[in-house]
Structure 1
Amino acid sequence: MTGTQHARFLVRIWDLLAEPKSVTVMMTFAYGGLLGMGFWAIVDASPGGVRDMMGGLLIAGGVCGLIGCPWGQWWIERAGLVAIGAAFAVHLSFVVAISSPDGPWEVASALGLLLLVVTRWIRIRTLPADPMLPRPRPPEVGDE
């Protein structure tokens, strides 16, 4: 593959990404990181099984996000957000119940990640399942 063909291939891939492309790229990397975190949680599992459950939820959420986010399949990404939110809710309840030495930091980080999940959910909740359909417009003043 020559340099020109390679550049055309990359442009075609870039054109397939859902808008806004910068957010799509960042979220795709975030889902990849969460997928890796899920595998790490399972490898470093505890005998209680809570980390296994959290790892499984993170893997499911990461896979759904990696499949849905780049191409604008928001219905798949929504399922991933539910799994990720559940994983961090489990983690948060576990940290609060056990109160590890890093408890305040872990609580703050889990709450921050849950806030990011909720923010992404709010952003994509009204988008159509088919990315080729037009996006709904917000109601204008006087539309009731």
Structure 2
Amino acid sequence: MKFKLEQVLAYYQKQEERLSKELAEIKSKLQEHSLYLQSLKKERENLLNSIRGHQEHSDGLWDVIACFHYLGMLDKRIEKLKEEMETLKIQCEVKQKQLVEVNKEKKILERLKERWWQQEQKILLKKEQILLDEIAINGYVRREG
């Protein structure tokens, strides 16, 4: 006999695999964004040092203006990246919650399947014992009768 909820269990297993994969992708993107943010912050710091150097030596005004313009662009890029990272963190939390729920449902079904399997084994053992008893009785009757 087949476990009646096997298809439901298979569905939850597929859901768990899908959510795990999606969560891994989100975490990977978050890691990439984090590394990119670090590089942008380092680039910003180097640019600020460059601007200070230009100001101290009174080098070309246009260079300083260009650096400030680029600094503004860097700041916008950093802010946009931080916003994207916040969105990814929220997505990550949502996926983790979904994964926990799917995992709970799957474990419940696995426990039900295990109980069902144990019950099936008991039934089979009883049937086997009845069959063995019948064979023994028939053998006894033949010898005696």
Higher share in helix: 2
Q: What's the TM-score bracket when you normalise by the shorter of the two chains?
A: 0.3 to 0.5
Q: Radius of gyration: which is bigger?
A: 2
TM-score scaled by length of structure 1: 0.33
TM-score scaled by length of structure 2: 0.33
